[in-house]
Structure 1
Amino acid sequence: MIDSDKKTEMLVGLFMFVGLLLLGGLILMFGRVREVFKDTYHLRVAFPNAAGIKEGSPIFLGGSRVGKVDKKPQLNDTFTGVILDLELFKDVMIPADASFAIGSAGLMGDALVEIKPTGKQTSAFLPHDLDKVIEGEKGGGLNDLQSQAEKVGKKVDVVLDDVRTALKDVQGAMGKVNKEALSDTTIQHFKEGIEHLNNTLKRVDEKVLGDENSLALKTALADFKAAAASFKVAAKNVEESSAKLGPMLDKLDPAIAKADKVMTTADESLQSIKKAADSFALAASNITTGKGLLGALMNDERLMTDFRDLIYNFKVNGPLWYKDTAERLRAEEAKKLHPEESQPKRGIFR
């Protein structure tokens, strides 16, 4: 029985030990106790006012907690400000162009130190455990609200000055309107213009839009209406006539097409006849002027006689036994016709 109780007590104690270990792990993981075990380095920053800052106040960089205030603020040598010792996590690198300011967080306005980088890409960072004191921004906490209120007040003053200038310009413009646009002379001219317009409208009503002109206009409109009706009837008749002529024109289309084809063929024949006539005229011209073989035969009597003798000799003797028979026959015929010319002449002393 005693051994069973001891065994139960040991199990309960072991369970409680494991539970405490898990609770401690959760506290270390989600609480700030783990920050105690992180490696840190220190920086010193001077502020003209650090109201609300105390030992253990958080330090934020880009919204992330990167350390705490190591000691309470200490007065500087001239008693014109305080110096804060900042304890930062060793794995946090502060850009060299970053500024340090006093801010507030939460509804209660708890003071904190805020590191504000410029946002530019840089490879220069503040060295760890820097001996030099860094100058922080002026103000902090409620002072920031006061400075912001002062800036807003200055901007409001600038806006009010602009409004005053604009009001002066509006007053000047209204004065010019009252003096020039709304002067007595301008109003009198406006009245005269209205009276002149009224008289003109009366004249138009009396002369242009009188009863006689209205009657003439009505008559002209009636005549125009009658002419339009006549034109409509004539157009209808033309349309009906066109409808009747349509089938006739459709029947004439094949005949017209054939006539076009015949005219095209006749045109081609006339062109061929013209070309032949031109060729014949050219040949006749060549014959008349003696150009070419035919022209020479027709115009040169000697050549024509030789050509005739050549054909006769070929016909009588043939090409192998060719001899000039035509010349001999011509000489014999000449002797028969003129025997006195063929006998030799004798001298007077023979």
Structure 2
Amino acid sequence: MNEQDRGLELKVGIFVAVGLAILAALIVQFGRIGEGFKSYYTITVHFADASGLLKSSDVLMGGAKVGQVGGAPRLVTVGRGVEVPLKIYDFVKIPVGSSITVGSSGLLGDRFVAIFPPTEKPTAYIAHGARVEGAREEGLDDITKEGGALIKDLRGTVAKIDTAVSKLNDDALSKANMAHLKETFDNLSKTTAALSESSKKIDGVIEKADGTMGSAKEAADKIQVAVADAQKTIQSASRILNEATKGDGL
């Protein structure tokens, strides 16, 4: 093997070594292995229910990872619920009064712990070894339980509707009531027909009355003409009498 081949092998070896070193650094930085090289402080959170939360689950604050779950949930010795140890990066400070909940990545996603700091400016921070109260967001199992309760209520409502419809069929829509209702409609139809006949008769009377009023008007017009002629005759007679009285003769 000559010097040129040895130089080429050395360059390839250095390139491979650098690549492996970079790969190892990335694994340590972004993988679970790197968690063992970081410094933490521990706090304990009490949850009423931490179902689905596992050891090494992420702890997020504002969407950024700030630690991990230090162990599986364990039952409390006094009271109800479970306690979950959280390992928080030593450079992260959690304000007192922060809301700590168990969240889920979607309906079927992995569980994680989410920390929501208070809106006001923090004046104190949670110390190492502190115990705080947590909450739990609703997941698929909670929605399933609520859906089951809703279906149960819906079935009860449907049963009540069926009972009401049955009573309506038995009482209001019974054969006797339907017969009475039919009789009522028959009577109403007869009454309507009678009113129609009466209306026709009234129309005839009105037409006759109109004819009578026309004849009366015509007679009145003739009387007025006769009165006018009589007035003219009387005026002529009066004039003749006046002339006779004065001695002028007819």
TM-score (norm 2): 0.54
Q: 1:122 aligns with which of 114, 120, 123?
A: 120
Alignment partner of 1:98 is 2:96: no
User: One-letter code of the match for 1:40?
Assistant: Y
Q: Which residue of 2 aligns with 1:160?
A: 157
> In the superposition, relative to structure 1, how do residues 200 and 116 fare at CA in structure 2: closer, same or farther (>3 Å)?
farther
Q: Which runs of 5+ in 2 are unaligned?
A: 208-250
* Deviation of the 1:145 alpha carbon: 4.6
Q: How many Å separate the matches in 1 of 2:66 and 2:138? A: 19
Alignment of 1:1-350 (within 5 A): 2-28=2-28, 30-36=30-36, 38-61=38-61, 63-78=63-78, 80-89=80-89, 90-91=91-92, 93=94, 96-101=97-102, 103-105=103-105, 110=110, 112-115=111-114, 117=116, 121-124=119-122, 127-137=125-135, 144-145=142-143, 147-149=145-147, 152-153=150-151, 156=154, 160=157, 164=161, 175=172, 183=181, 186-187=184-185, 190-200=188-198, 202-203=200-201
User: One-letter code of the match for 1:100?
Assistant: T
User: One-letter code of the match for 1:98?
Assistant: S
Greater length-normalized contact order (CA 8 Å, ≥ 6 residues apart): 2
Q: Which has the higher strand share?
A: 2
Query: 1:51 touches 1:141 (CA, 8 Å); kept in 2?
Result: no
Q: How many Å separate the matches in 1 of 2:10 and 2:125? A: 54
User: One-letter code of the match for 1:54?
Assistant: L
Query: 1:54 touches 1:73 (CA, 8 Å); kept in 2?
Result: yes
Q: How many Å separate the matches in 1 of 2:153 and 2:66? A: 36
User: One-letter code of the match for 1:96?
Assistant: G
TM-score (norm 1): 0.41
The Cα RMSD (Å) is 4.9
Query: 1:51 touches 1:140 (CA, 8 Å); kept in 2?
Result: no
Query: 1:49 touches 1:139 (CA, 8 Å); kept in 2?
Result: no
> In the superposition, relative to structure 1, how do residues 139 and 4 fare at CA in structure 2: closer, same or farther (>3 Å)?
closer
Q: How many Å separate the matches in 1 of 2:197 and 2:96? A: 87
* Deviation of the 1:189 alpha carbon: 5.3
SS in structure 1 of the partner of residue 135 of structure 2: coil
* Deviation of the 1:199 alpha carbon: 1.4
Task: Give the structure with higher Rg (CA).
Answer: 1
SS in structure 1 of the partner of residue 92 of structure 2: coil
Write out per-residue CA displacement over residues 132-165 of structure 1, whole angstroms, 9 at most, x where no aligned residue.
42233379877535543455357647x829975x
Q: Which residue of 1 aligns with 2:244?
A: none
* Deviation of the 1:11 alpha carbon: 1.3
Q: Which has the higher helix share?
A: 1
Write out per-residue CA displacement over residues 180-217 of structure 1, whole angstroms, 9 at most, x where no aligned residue.
xx7578536522432134315655898999xxxxxxxx
> In the superposition, relative to structure 1, how do residues 152 and 11 fare at CA in structure 2: closer, same or farther (>3 Å)?
same
Q: Which runs of 5+ in 1 are unaligned?
A: 210-350
Give % identity: 26
